[in-house]
Structure 1
Amino acid sequence: MPTQVVLTLAGPLFIGVILVWALLGSLIIQLYDYHNTSRSSDRLWVQILVYMVFLLDLLQTVLITQSSWIALIVNWGDATALINTPWSSATTPLLNGLLAACVQCFFAWRIWQLTHSTIGRGIAIVIVALALMQLAAAAAVTAEYTLFNRDYSRLPELSHADDTRLIGNFICDTVIATSMVIILAKAHRQSHFKATETLLNRLIVNTIETAAITAGVTLLTLILFKVSPATYYDIVTDYVSGRIYSNVLVATLNGRHRSRNGLSSINNFGTVDFAHGTEMNTFTAAQHTTITTVSGQLRGVAISTTVDTNEMADRSSLPKVTAI
């Protein structure tokens, strides 16, 4: 096999498979933690979503491995095997789009729950629309690539659908991050307690960092595809993008448990909940809770699960608020 083919096609494919398995291992650890600590506090549909995302991730890992095995092992030395890819290679865009849509819709739901304004809920609807748009574009890429007999050299002909998929993901992730930062910043302005402000600052920074990973990988995939369409450089980032979405989802849910137990004060793309994770629950308002009045009712966003017993001498006298 020519050296140039190895460096531009076989090499990136090999690196992509390694990263896929590494991220699957990370997801398994996260899932084990979720099953033992956070699962019981979540709604049934959230639990189903987590396990469904894991199964999709596992399925795609198997398909990516099968595709790479045929190209790199079974047909080693045959450069055409890297261009005329096996059937499993066509599933990557669709499964990536499905994983991304599941996670994006979950965060849209959280934003819907955290805000009661028309604009805020309108943004949540926009996020869902963007998620479904990129999913439809991903399905179109898979369908057209299959019709092209999985000839990778013809992939640039799918640029419109592929651009829609990648740009849609990038915009959707950016909107999610921006919305969460605005919500947290608003809670920060309303807070009068140092501990809450410190935690909110960390949540804002973590939200930006997480968004930088998901949106950055998507943007890098688009750039590599445009700059080097005849190589597999973009395959590396495209392979890992689905794994990143699934890891972010489970890590976000696990972050609540760590915060409640004082192990960590960081929670990706979300807020800390007292008892039932992402569900709407009632708890006693404490000094570490930001309380706002909406439509005459006391509502709040739980930011910290630490309660000073000296400050809570008479819990019965404190008002009740709703947490997310």
Structure 2
Amino acid sequence: MVQERKLMNFLVALVTLTELVLIVLISENAWQVLCRGPIDPTFILVPPKSAAATPILNGFVALLVQLFFARKVQTQAIWIWANMTLPWVIVMLGLLQFAASIGTTVLYVQTPQKSFEITATKPTVIVQLSGSLACDALIMFCMIGILLHSQPNTALRLSQRLLSGFLINVIENSALTTVCVALNLAFAVAEPRDYTHLAFQNVIGGL
């Protein structure tokens, strides 16, 4: 129990630190596009060098969250097949999207900035977003199933109300995240050049 709590504190601190770094990088990108872009259009077309770290950091944060929920499914799922199978599926999907985020960063670094086009990273971005979408949807259904099973087995009315509140919160947050990831993937496939999918990716990072 103590080790679990220490691990949780470490995970929260690591996610918070990574998100702070992401906020700094996103702010720099926004400054370049919104403030320097009107003066020199090349700042809009060519992202700054620091933008290379954004995909891998987003993938890392997503992986940490997915590993957390994989552990929750493993410890709280009441079905034996779910305990043995679903957490590993979540882990594998999380590792897939993280590996794709590393690939996106590698492609970005290898492409000369003067000739950079966002379509150069389209294949790895699609793999990353597809993996995240599948993983988030699986986590959503697993957590809803766990809460739905726990609610009828709780005798106290106050506990039932708390579980109902948790269930509503899980449905709202997970559904919102899944929809945003789906829109992110749709924009990345349909029109990667207008950076709309990057905006959705930053929104997802804040959820």
- The correspondence for 1:203, drawn from 166, 184, 188, is 166
- Are 1:49 and 2:50 counterparts? no
> For residue 103 of structure 1, what is the amino acid of its counterpart?
V
- Are 1:240 and 2:179 counterparts? no
Shift of 1:75: 5.1
Alpha-carbon contact 1:218-1:238 (below 8 Å) kept: yes
Shift of 1:155: 2.2
User: Could you list the per-position Cα deviations for residues 204-231 of structure 1 after superposition, in whole angstroms to 9, with x for gaps in the alignment?
Assistant: 2221111112212211111222333221
Q: Match of 2:144? A: 181
Shift of 1:134: 0.4
Q: Match of 1:255? A: none
- Are 1:79 and 2:3 counterparts? no
In structure 2, do the counterparts of structure 1 residues 150 and 131 end up closer, same or farther at CA, with 3 Å as the change threshold? farther
Q: 1:149 & 1:137 partners in 2: Cα distance?
A: 20
For normalisation by structure 2, the TM-score amounts to: 0.88
Alpha-carbon contact 1:153-1:230 (below 8 Å) kept: no
Q: Give unmatched runs, 5+ long, in structure 1.
A: 1-39, 245-324
CA RMSD in angstroms, aligned pairs only = 2.3
- Are 1:111 and 2:36 counterparts? no
> For residue 149 of structure 2, what is the amino acid of its counterpart?
K
Larger radius of gyration: 1
- Are 1:147 and 2:110 counterparts? yes
Q: Give unmatched runs, 5+ long, in structure 2.
A: none
Choose between structure 1 and 2: higher strand proportion.
1
Alpha-carbon contact 1:94-1:138 (below 8 Å) kept: yes
Alpha-carbon contact 2:117-2:193 (below 8 Å) kept: no
- What is the correspondence of 1:31-42 to structure 2 with a 5 Å cutoff? none
In structure 2, do the counterparts of structure 1 residues 136 and 152 end up closer, same or farther at CA, with 3 Å as the change threshold? farther
Q: For 1:190, what is the secondary structure of its paired residue?
A: coil
In structure 2, do the counterparts of structure 1 residues 228 and 160 end up closer, same or farther at CA, with 3 Å as the change threshold? closer
Q: For 2:193, what is the secondary structure of its paired residue?
A: coil
Q: 1:201 & 1:45 partners in 2: Cα distance?
A: 28
Alpha-carbon contact 1:134-1:166 (below 8 Å) kept: yes
Aligned length: 205
Q: 1:229 & 1:116 partners in 2: Cα distance?
A: 42
Q: For 2:194, what is the secondary structure of its paired residue?
A: coil
Alpha-carbon contact 1:63-1:88 (below 8 Å) kept: yes
Q: Match of 1:97? A: 59
Q: Match of 1:304? A: none
> For residue 197 of structure 1, what is the amino acid of its counterpart?
Q
- The correspondence for 1:70, drawn from 8, 26, 32, is 32
Q: Match of 1:88? A: 50
Q: Match of 2:192? A: 229
User: Could you list the per-position Cα deviations for residues 216-263 of structure 1 after superposition, in whole angstroms to 9, with x for gaps in the alignment?
Assistant: 22111112223332212222211222222xxxxxxxxxxxxxxxxxxx
Identity of aligned residues (%): 28
Q: 2:8 & 2:112 partners in 1: Cα distance?
A: 38
- Are 1:216 and 2:179 counterparts? yes
- Are 1:156 and 2:148 counterparts? no
User: Could you list the per-position Cα deviations for residues 31-81 of structure 1 after superposition, in whole angstroms to 9, with x for gaps in the alignment?
Assistant: xxxxxxxxx996111111111111101111111222332343345422222
Greater RCO between the two (CA within 8 Å, min separation 6)? Answer: 1
Q: 1:46 & 1:123 partners in 2: Cα distance?
A: 21
For normalisation by structure 1, the TM-score amounts to: 0.58
